[in-house]
Structure 1
């Protein structure tokens, strides 16, 4: 990992930071989705079962309304009291015709006070049979209305029996009924979207479930004792998953209780698990595709971002390597307004100042070479003068004067040398200060990166707050769904009232036709209200789905901000490397400063020697003996002077070698 480049490291980190959350999110989402669909399916089945029970009860209530209205028909009451079968048949046929056209009623039967059938509108040829043993009819003969599910010879039927009274005395009964057959279960399936089955005992009497040929699976049995014991024996509702004809369903089995209170069968509504799993798999597949596309896009965008960040840093590092190798002509062209652009500008200014300093240093080295040559010439002249003093004292005065003159020239040259060395030292100090400024700028860039990381963490918090707000919106959608349910319930009640109004209109005959039209309009409005409520419910669910998707996007945005924080922190590390490179340059300038300091110290020693030579020349004029003594001392001094001039030449060569390592623009 240490040998990888920064761009490769950043790409690997970004990929890992994207892949790990995506995999974790996918697994977690799949688990939540599976749990959600199971809970949703069970809840949907439960609500559908309750809705089916409500619809069945509404059918029974409609039958109650029809039987009650028929029992209050004055003509029918009179015909039954007179036992006028012809009048009874005409009146019942008229009622049955009006009822059958607007409802599911297919049974209308009149009996006398003894329970004997007087007339059946649905089967006029059959009458005279005794039904006093029927629980509902016997209860009506006793003066009480009875309604509910009744088990007959051909299956189940929904029936409502009402007593017919004349002057407060029960003279007969009227029964309105509806067969609990295939049309009913098909209607319930259309309304609820569930598979519906009516069991007589544990045998399927009628069902919407078909085999491969399309035939209804009637006559088959539910042999799961867990279901039959719970429903048929305990009278409780069974919910959950169960095997239905070889397939797994989310089920709801509820007991069918007859009018006499006996459990005579089961009512089933269920949802095929396979259809739910298909929807779940489709959503999971969509999520996987979105995750893969998001991963590819994120890697591409991250790679482009890393490239835009690393490229200028590589250019700066390349320039610094060239400077480290001595090329001071390097200039970086980066047109950016951020800290990297400022760093490139600082680098250019630093190299420009260093180049100027090296040029000045080269000039000073040239002056220093000339001065050392003069010193060496002076030393040779002094040596020759000393020899002439030993050979002839007569020419001593002339030679001493010449020596004094040469010493004065050497003194001036040494002063010029010292001044030049001081100028070199000052330029090096200036370049070192500029390098320090660059280091400060780089540290400022590092500080700016840290501030950027802090700001991105603030953005992370804001996105978290926005995600919480989206959760609140989702909760409000649930409350709206409750209101929609209430509106739907009101629409159903309005529908029932419209049915009752139709009964009253039918009883009124010709006078109630106008009221019947109004009742039909009210019924239509109730159906439209129920349909509108369902549409609004669908829209609310769709809105809730979009809110959930927006929450997921927020989570992805939050992850991207966290990845940005990691990239900024790595950029801060790059600034640290730049600061280290500037420190290396400062070290080289310190080395140059040390060399010029040594040159200055040695030049001062040479200058002191020149002063001593000049003093010796002046003292030589006082006496010949002092001249001879001074000649010996001067010889020794000249030797030292020659050694110092050689040292100065060596030092000058070292400086020339050092400055030759730096490449500068010769044309400037």
Structure 2
């Protein structure tokens, strides 16, 4: 395989391996991200479900406590109304119209009076007159006998009309019978409707007795009724709640049903059934899930696009490298062919013309100079050989002209010495060629240093990439922290909202009591005349309640201020989170730029390695040829020197022995012939 094909193959393999490794890494990281995303979504769904259960349980607890407080307040109001009517009944006979007027003033629905037998004689509802209260509720008998002072009943069905009422009974003074106050369930329904209007997803609220009777029904606008008020439900869950005294939560899809026991005197009096649309509770989890799914889809598309672009880029890079390598190494083919011709003895080729200024251009120039020098050496050696042959012929011409021959030999020796000087000069030029080769060695060293430097740069870039990735992780940690702070602030806001609700309930209760006491004071003052001064205590109580109302209003104002501050904190935290996300995006971009620089550095290193390989190859070829030329010239110089010595010896001894001169001439002639045979191998 040629050097060009090797370089193309190696470079292509490196590019393919790098792209394959990058694609594999992207695929692995994407799979890891998908797995982590699925785990996060599962955890988020689980946490959301737990959070919904906690919130709904808390909401049910709040509603049940509200019902208990409302019932206590209603019991107090009904008791006060009953005692007011008791005083009026003791002073004079009360008619049905009087009962209606008093009921209107005290905000009660019904007032009823029985005789000592328990039969209703007076009532705001004419349909009740004639019914026996003892038949409806045997427990009231203790009021007639004096064993009981008051009987406060739960919400129940009014036998006369089938409506839902709450009754409070006390004895009439002087043993006249029983006085009963009734209030319909509308006050409960109106109060429970407030929880439906708060936008918390509550669709309907039912209040069910421990005997499965539907007592109240509060529906959201447009919501269909599930249980009819006054009917008896067959829902087995209610019996389970009554028996266990524990709440039961049924959560399915985006709907929830909460069965919550309302316990009075350690017994379940009512079961609160709330039907809730949990869509708003799962809204954050749904948004997060959709966002994570979108991120997964985007990453998948990005990876596919990246792999596709990488394949296209690989093909383009490989094609470009093939073109560049072939174009860059083409002059080496010309140099190689000329070197082969020189090895065969053909020195007739012209100088290789290369316009490039790189190492290959310098090598071609040096190779041309070496060829010219070698051609000159051959010319000079041939001339010297011809001259030696002529001298040997003159020596063989005859011994008669010995003296002339001696002079001629002396001249010949001078010419040979001159030729030797020229050979020394050529050897010096050859030495310069060797020095040029040393320059190539120095260039190799410089290239090696450059390769090392590029490798260091690549390592530094990789370190910077790792550092940038670490920064991305830090940014993500900061985002998590900011989101946690926002969640904490929101929880605190929820807590403050609960406090505001409780204080509002207190203010409402106090307002009701204030109205009732004011009514009692007005009635007593009107009826008692001078004795009305005894109601100063009531007036004092009214003042005290007014002060409580003022304090509660102040607390509400303070809580609103705190809520505003916490809201500001939440906004600030979210702003921080946004800033951190922007920082993470910048860091990711920096990471991409750094890895781009790494790729450039690797390309430069590859180019340097290619240059070094080419320089080493050409240096080796040049050194071999120079060594051969120097050895050949040295051999010729030695042979010429030997011939000169022989001629000198013949000159000194020519008078002594003609035979020796003849033998020397013959030897010189043979040497000239051999030298000509060697020279004739070269084509000039």
Shift in Å at residue 262 of structure 1? 5.2
1:469-493 CA-to-partner distances (Å, cap 9, x unmatched) read 3333333334333422331232122
Give the aligned partner of residue 432 of structure 2: 423
1:381-400 CA-to-partner distances (Å, cap 9, x unmatched) read 11121012112231422431
Counterparts of 2:468 and 2:284, CA distance in 1: 36
1:580-635 CA-to-partner distances (Å, cap 9, x unmatched) read 42442123322312321232232222222232233333333313235334323323
Give the aligned partner of residue 406 of structure 2: 397
Shift in Å at residue 75 of structure 1? 6.0
Give the aligned partner of residue 370 of structure 1: 376
Contact 1:382–1:638 (CA<8 Å) still a contact in 2? yes
Shift in Å at residue 574 of structure 1? 5.2
2:362 matches 1:356: yes
Shift in Å at residue 447 of structure 1? 2.1
2:449 matches 1:440: yes
Shift in Å at residue 377 of structure 1? 1.2
Shift in Å at residue 66 of structure 1? 5.3
TM-score (norm 1): 0.71
Shift in Å at residue 21 of structure 1? 4.3
SS of 2:197's equivalent? helix
SS of 2:652's equivalent? coil
Shift in Å at residue 445 of structure 1? 1.3
Give the aligned partner of residue 190 of structure 1: 197
1:93 aligned to 86, 90, 104, which one? 104
Counterparts of 1:16 and 1:209, CA distance in 2: 58
Give the aligned partner of residue 178 of structure 1: 185
Give the aligned partner of residue 338 of structure 2: none
Contact 2:475–2:581 (CA<8 Å) still a contact in 1? no
Contact 1:397–1:621 (CA<8 Å) still a contact in 2? yes
Counterparts of 1:540 and 1:49, CA distance in 2: 28
Give the aligned partner of residue 236 of structure 1: 246
Give the aligned partner of residue 650 of structure 2: 620
Structure whose alpha-carbon radius of gyration is higher: 2
Aligned residues: 611
2:218 matches 1:218: no
Counterparts of 2:504 and 2:630, CA distance in 1: 113
- CA gap 1:66/1:196 in 2 versus in 1, 3 angstroms: closer
Most deviating of 489-498 and 308-317:
308-317
Counterparts of 1:136 and 1:392, CA distance in 2: 179
Most deviating of 157-166 and 268-277:
157-166
Structure 2 stretches lacking a partner, 5+ long: 1-8, 335-354, 523-538
Give the aligned partner of residue 351 of structure 2: none
- CA gap 1:75/1:620 in 2 versus in 1, 3 angstroms: same
What is the alpha-carbon root mean square deviation over aligned residues?
Answer: 5.4
Contact 1:236–1:254 (CA<8 Å) still a contact in 2? yes
Counterparts of 2:679 and 2:80, CA distance in 1: 145
Shift in Å at residue 423 of structure 1? 1.1
2:514 aligned to 505, 511, 521, which one? 505
- CA gap 1:204/1:411 in 2 versus in 1, 3 angstroms: farther
Give the aligned partner of residue 600 of structure 1: 630
Counterparts of 1:20 and 1:209, CA distance in 2: 53
Contact 1:256–1:267 (CA<8 Å) still a contact in 2? yes
Contact 1:249–1:273 (CA<8 Å) still a contact in 2? yes
Counterparts of 2:262 and 2:581, CA distance in 1: 46
Counterparts of 1:84 and 1:234, CA distance in 2: 50
Contact 2:121–2:130 (CA<8 Å) still a contact in 1? yes
2:260 matches 1:254: yes
1:156-555 → structure 2 map (5 Å cutoff): 159=166, 178-179=185-186, 186-191=193-198, 192-198=200-206, 199=208, 215-218=224-227, 227=237, 230-241=240-251, 249-255=255-261, 257=263, 263=268, 266-271=271-276, 284-296=289-301, 318-326=323-331, 352-393=358-399, 394=401, 395-506=404-515, 507-508=517-518
Give the aligned partner of residue 69 of structure 2: 61
Most deviating of 25-34 and 428-437:
25-34
Shift in Å at residue 304 of structure 1? 7.7
2:620 aligned to 582, 587, 590, which one? 590
Most deviating of 48-57 and 431-440:
48-57
Structure 1 stretches lacking a partner, 5+ long: 97-105, 330-348, 654-668
1:514-553 CA-to-partner distances (Å, cap 9, x unmatched) read 9999988888888888889899999988998999999999
SS of 1:325's equivalent? helix
TM-score (norm 2): 0.70
Most deviating of 434-443 and 141-150:
141-150
Counterparts of 1:587 and 1:411, CA distance in 2: 34
